[in-house]
């Protein structure tokens, strides 16, 4: 399997790093692009060096290399993930504005009707953010905000990050054992349909 991974400058660099680690452990070929602001965020938010992050990928491209292999629709892959996705990146994709390699590779992914997954990291969201995300969802982009699932009772940030990465892998159709799957509530009382409380 071969995927393109973009790290934009939004907070949440650890999501992208953990995605790369999971792909490496699963022998998934990764083609990585890291924006200039993502490099800053990695240094600010994590203990990873840039060399360590780049070392997790099979191939690394400068974000200004508009002639890179992944900029062409003839480059075949199984999907692209932008994790985290800044609102600038979301806006660029929603309006077809491709001024760097992350934007171009994602635009190509959409036009070739391949799987595109965004992990948008911003809060609160205003109407323009929401409209841009809706535009992308309407053309088939999977939107996976980093919202923690608390039913697994996570006790570390790492567990919360892993759950999100697992959901991204699910969207790509990747088999993994990063999380325990929901199997229902044992001996749950009959309370009627959910949503009535």
| Binding site feature residues | 9-11, 35, 86-89, 121, 151, 167
Distance CA 144, CA 174 (A): 16
Give every CB contact of residue 81 below 8 A, 6+ residues apart in sequence. 3, 4, 5, 6, 19, 117, 118, 119, 168, 172
Q: How far is CA 174 from CA 51, 54, 61, 78, in A?
A: 26, 22, 24, 11
Cβ(24)–Cβ(55) under 8 Å? no
| Binding site feature residues for dimethylallyl phosphate | 151, 167
Distance CA 104, CA 67 (A): 10
| Binding site feature residues for FMN | 9-11, 35, 86-89, 121
């Amino acid at each position: 399997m071969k995927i393109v991974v973009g790290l934009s400058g939004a907070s949440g660099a650890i999501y992208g790093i953990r995605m790369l680690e999971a792909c490496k452990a699963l022998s998934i070929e990764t083609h990585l692009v890291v924006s200039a602001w993502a490099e800053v965020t990695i240094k600010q938010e994590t203990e990873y060096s840039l060399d360590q992050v780049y070392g997790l990928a099979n191939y690394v491209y400068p974000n200004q290399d508009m002639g890179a292999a992944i900029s062409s629709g003839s480059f075949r892959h199984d999907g692209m993930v932008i994790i985290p996705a800044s609102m600038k990146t979301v806006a660029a994709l929603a309006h077809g504005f491709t001024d760097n390699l992350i934007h171009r590779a994602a635009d190509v992914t959409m036009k070739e009707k391949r799987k595109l997954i965004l992990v948008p990291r911003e809060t609160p969201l205003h109407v323009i953010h929401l409209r841009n995300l809706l535009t992308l969802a309407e053309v088939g982009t999977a939107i996976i905000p980093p919202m923690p699932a608390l039913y697994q009772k996570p006790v570390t940030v790492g567990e919360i990050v892993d759950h999100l990465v697992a959901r991204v892998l699910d969207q790509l159709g990747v088999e993994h054992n990063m999380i325990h799957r929901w199997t229902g509530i044992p001996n749950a009382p009959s309370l009627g349909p959910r949503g009535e409380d």
